Amino acid sequence: MNRLNQKSKDEQTSLHTKLHQAETSKKEYFRVKSLRKALGIIELLAQRPKMTLSELSESLSLTKSNIHRLVLTLKECGYLEQSPDGNKYSLSLKIFQIGCSLRNQFDFVSIALPFMENLASLSQETINLGIWYEDRVLLLEKILSPEQLRLDSPIGNSDPLHSTALGRCLLAGLSEVDLEIFLRSHTLDAVTRNTVTNPNVLRGIIRNTRKLGFAVDDEETLEGVYCIAAPIRIEHGRVVAAISISAPKFRMKDDKIEVLKNALIENTHSISLKIGYSF
């Protein structure tokens, strides 16, 4: 009887293995390797503009003939441009056009802009709007400070969640279970000497962010820079974005921080109400 039970278990295990292999094989069949390689070229050129075929080949570990075919196709489709001397390639404005089109799909950006302008006028500092993307904070919109010394991160730039005020607001929107999953699956790297890298300390910061309604980054992402941020919410209280005020730390005195904190919370609440959140 035990042998029969063991045989039945072995057959079930074998069947499960075969089904898993079949599913894996099916997924591999539907993947287009050349498309993945072409997208790799686009992603690389987004980080390192103007590269030669040899540089692309070496960086992506692909043959020159393979790279040449992919680059030629991307160029014919309008995604790449060739330098006047013909030696280097870069992304075209078509990529920019697509990016702008995607950005316009985030309805809350246009709603948030007037409130960001209010904060910019009040603070005379840089205002940033960020969202969660690929476990980082993606900068979606900004208004620059008129001051000569200011923080100016490019739109589309991304920063760690754990060290930024924007990221901490986004993390505060997670449930306790999801926050624990994040902390256990991510290394909290030190971005500066001030970055919090202890998960227990970060847990406390996130809980405090939920309680107070704002988060700070005190020289943890960039030395000499202080940021304060508050979340934007939609229905059911889900955090979809956050807005921050960033400035050189020497300009962020305690009395200024207190004024800006209250204004930031007030403006992010107003944005949240306009996009469907009910307090």
Stated pTM of the model: 0.70
| H-helix segments, 61-198 | 64-76, 93-103, 107-123, 165-172, 176-185
Are residues 74 and 68 in contact, defined by beta-carbon separation less than 8 angstroms? no
Separation CA 75–CA 67 (nearest Å): 12
Question: Residue 117 to residues 10, 109, 110, 147: CA-CA distances in angstroms?
Answer: 66, 12, 11, 15
CATH of domain 29-104: 1.10.10.10
Question: DSSP 3-state assignment of 89?
Answer: strand
In the chain, CATH 3.30.450.40 sits at: 106-274
Return the CA Rg of the chain.
24
pLDDT at 23: 55
Give the 3-state secondary structure of residue 134: coil
Instruction: Give the span between the Cα atoms of 277 and 279, in whole angstroms.
Output: 6
Question: Which of 55, 58, 61, 56 minimizes the C-alpha distance to 74?
Answer: 56
- Residue labelled with tokens 């807005």: 243
CATH architecture of 106-274: 2-Layer Sandwich (3.30)
pLDDT tens, residue order, the chain (279 aa): 455 455 455 555 565 565 555 555 555 555 778 888 999 999 899 888 899 999 999 999 999 899 999 999 999 999 999 998 889 999 988 887 777 666 655 678 889 999 999 999 999 999 999 999 889 999 999 999 999 999 888 888 999 999 999 999 999 999 999 999 999 999 999 999 999 999 999 999 999 999 999 999 999 999 999 999 999 998 888 899 999 999 999 999 999 999 999 999 999 999 999 988 876
DSSP string, 222-247: STTEEEEEEEEE-GGG-EEEEEEEEE
pLDDT score at 108: 80
Distance between CA atoms of residues 10 and 276, nearest Å: 54
State the pLDDT at residue 1: 47
Residue intervals in the chain for CATH 1.10.10.10: 29-104
